[in-house]
């Protein structure tokens, strides 16, 4: 039996959960975010149905902007409890299949399975999730990188047979990407098509004449190390060849930090109000971590002005602590180091934690 990595990604997840209880909305442009009121200031889209995306609506867009792009959209409020419950249903279902499941979020997970028919297993998973009245795409790979990228092809093309070398048994919503078809599928694509390469790194590589994945495959490893550093350079070289992590762990990932931030309905200009909000955010995140038994080692504060200029400052605690008052006091000491010459749009407080 061969070992395969399957990446299961739920389609338009939050909107799909809403469709389960509001079936009359299926096929309509639906936008989820905030309290469901597009006139509410500074609230953003967290999920858009595929019909809404056809109008250019994307996650992270302001609700007001989304309404301008798609005036006929149906706006719905966030329902975190419903999404968490639906996610738990899906992950429990995935664990009923042979293999090891690593949860990556509400709407995605990796499954490591020994099988001679990965496409058949993928279709079984899709059929089982369909019975939950949800849909998913499944990427099949020989590591996490290829499986994750394969899911993108399954979603964007709608049918994996539309790409060269998709693999035997290819069908809608499933795509196979491995070393066998890596060059045919990926070599002509831009470097930022790779999971882990953003536009900034891609731009720097383009200055070196590395524009496509094929260029990266043919690049000199030592040159990349000299340009991007002894760790990042070789990592990019490995990515270009479609190599990646194959380890799947069932142990939930323990966060190494926790943050709390807020975008305010109106900009803050009063220094005392700014300090009060920083103290509140720091207290909330410190109390949450203390209740979870997590110990903080460092505090950072982020400020975003009305010009969207964003900056963070940090300070190490004298010793690891769960003392809420000390953490809040440190956050206030940090905010006092900022020169607040413009109205403040957003504040955030983050704690770095002692690893468990």
- 37 and 63 within one domain: yes
For residue 313, give the nearest of 327, 322, 303 by alpha carbon.
303
Residue 265: inside a domain: yes
| DSSP character string of 144-191 | HHHHHHHHHHHHHHSSGGGSTT--TT--TTEEEE-TTTHHHHHTTSBG
In this structure, the answer to whether residues 195 and 296 fall within a common structural domain is no
From the list 83, 82, 162, 93, the residue with the least C-alpha distance to 126 is 93
- Helices and strands, counts by H and E, the chain: 13, 12
What CATH number should be reported for the domain holding residue 318?
3.30.1490.100
The DSSP bridge partners found for residue 251 are: none
Per-residue tokens: 124: 């079984």
Cβ pair 115, 140 in contact under 8 A: no
Looking at residue 193, the DSSP 8-state letter turns out to be G
State residue 161's pLDDT score. Answer: 37
Nearest to 7, CA basis, from 126, 115, 96, 163:
126
Domain's final residue, options 195, 211, 240: 240
CA 43 to mean position of chain CA atoms = 19
For residue 250, tell me if it sits in a domain. no
Q: How many whole angstroms separate alpha carbon 238 and alpha carbon 168?
A: 26
Q: Which two tokens stand for residue 18?
A: 């809403």
Residue 108 annotated in active site: yes
- Total structural domains within the chain: 4
The CATH number of the domain holding residue 117 is: 3.30.70.270
Is residue 207 within a helix (H) or strand (E), and if so which, with residue range? Answer: helix 199-207
Q: Please give the sequence-ordered ranges of beta strands (E in DSSP) within 126-222, or none if there are none.
A: 136-141, 174-177
Which contacts qualify for 150-158: CB closer than 8 Å, 24 or more apart?
150/7, 150/175, 150/176, 150/177, 151/7, 151/8, 151/9, 151/175, 153/177, 153/185, 155/9, 155/11
Any residues with CB less than 8 A from the CB of 287 and at least 6 apart, and which?
324
The closest alpha carbon to 285, from 354, 353, 210, belongs to 353
Tokens 């990592």 belong to which residue? 235
- pLDDT given for residue 168 in this prediction: 46
Contact, 165 vs 183, CB < 8 A?
no
> Do 162 and 211 share a domain, yes or no?
no
One domain, residues 265 and 161: no
Q: Are residues 32 and 86 in the same domain?
A: no
Do 122 and 7 share a structural domain?
A: yes
Whether residue 252 is contained in a domain is answered as no
- Which of 57, 79, 101 lies at the terminal end of a domain, its last residue? 79
Domain assignment of residue 245, yes or no? no
Of the three residues 25, 51, 79, the one that is the final residue of a domain is: 79
164 and 285 co-located in one domain: no
**CB distance 347 to 278 below 8 Å:** yes
- pLDDT, averaged per 10 consecutive residues of the chain (356 residues), comes to 93 95 96 91 87 93 93 94 93 95 92 96 96 96 96 72 45 89 97 90 95 96 94 94 90 79 93 96 91 88 93 92 92 95 95 84
Give the domain extent around 316. 257-353
For residue 225, the domain's CATH number is 1.10.150.20
Pair (124, 7) in one structural domain: yes
Report the distance separating Cα 239 and Cα 189, nearest Å.
13
How many Cα atoms sit within 13 Å of 30 on the Cβ side?
Answer: 21
| The predicted structure's pLDDT at residue 356 | 63
Is 247 a member of any domain?
A: no
Please indicate, yes or no, whether residues 313 and 332 belong to a single structural domain of this protein: yes
| Burial bucket for residue 206 (CB in 10 Å: 0-12, 13-18, 19+) | middle
Residues 292 and 143 in one domain: no
Q: Tell me, yes or no, whether 249 lies in a domain.
A: no
Residue 67 has, within 13 A of its CA and on its CB side, a CA count of 15
Domain check: are 134 and 170 in the same one? yes
Query: What angle (nearest 5°) sits at the alpha carbon of residue 9, between those of residues 122 and 22?
Result: 110
- Total residue count of the chain as it appears in this document: 356
Other C-beta atoms within 10 Å of 330: how many?
Answer: 25
Q: Please indicate, yes or no, if residue 248 is contained in any of the structural domains.
A: no
* Res 253: pLDDT: 66
What are the tokens at 299? Answer: 């505090």
275 domain residue, yes or no: yes
Q: Are residues 72 and 111 in the same domain?
A: no
Q: How far apart are CA 213 and CA 229, in angstroms?
A: 19
Which of 108, 119, 163, 352 is catalytic? The answer is: 108
Report the CATH number at residue 68: 3.40.1170.60
């Amino acid at each position: 039996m061969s070992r395969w990595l399957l990446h299961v990604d739920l389609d338009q997840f939050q909107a799909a959960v809403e469709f389960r209880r509001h079936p009359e909305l299926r096929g309509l442009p639906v936008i989820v975010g905030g309290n469901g009121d597009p006139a509410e200031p500074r609230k953003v889209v967290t999920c858009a149905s595929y019909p809404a995306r056809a109008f250019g609506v994307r996650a992270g867009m302001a609700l007001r902007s989304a309404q301008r792009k798609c005036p006929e959209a149906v706006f719905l409020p966030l329902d975190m409890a419903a999404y968490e419950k639906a996610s738990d249903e899906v992950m429990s279902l995935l664990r009923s299949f042979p293999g090891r499941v690593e949860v990556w979020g509400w709407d995605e997970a990796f499954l490591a399975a020994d099988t001679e028919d990965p496409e058949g297993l993928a279709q079984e998973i899709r059929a089982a999730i369909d019975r939950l009245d949800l849909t998913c795409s499944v990427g099949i790979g020989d590591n996490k990188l290829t499986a994750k990228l394969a899911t993108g092809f399954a979603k964007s093309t709608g049918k994996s047979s539309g790409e060269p070398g998709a693999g035997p048994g290819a069908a809608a919503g499933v795509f196979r990407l491995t070393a066998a078809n890596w060059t045919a599928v990926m070599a002509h694509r831009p470097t930022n098509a790779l999971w882990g390469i953003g536009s900034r790194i891609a731009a720097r590589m383009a200055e070196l004449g590395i524009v496509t994945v094929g260029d990266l495959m043919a690049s000199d490893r030592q040159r990349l190390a000299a340009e991007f550093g002894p760790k990042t350079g070789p990592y990019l070289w490995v990515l270009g060849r479609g190599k990646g992590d194959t380890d799947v762990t069932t142990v939930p990932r323990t966060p190494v930090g926790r943050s709390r931030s807020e975008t305010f309905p109106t900009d803050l200009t009063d220094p005392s109000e700014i300090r009060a909000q920083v103290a509140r955010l720091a207290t909330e995140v410190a109390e949450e971590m203390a209740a979870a038994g997590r110990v903080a080692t460092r505090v950072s504060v982020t400020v975003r002005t009305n010009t969207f200029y964003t900056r963070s400052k940090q300070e190490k605690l004298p010793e690891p602590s769960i003392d809420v008052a000390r953490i809040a006091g440190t956050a206030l000491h940090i905010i006092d180091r900022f020169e607040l010459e413009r109205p403040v749009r957003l504040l955030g407080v983050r704690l770095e934690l002692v690893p468990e």
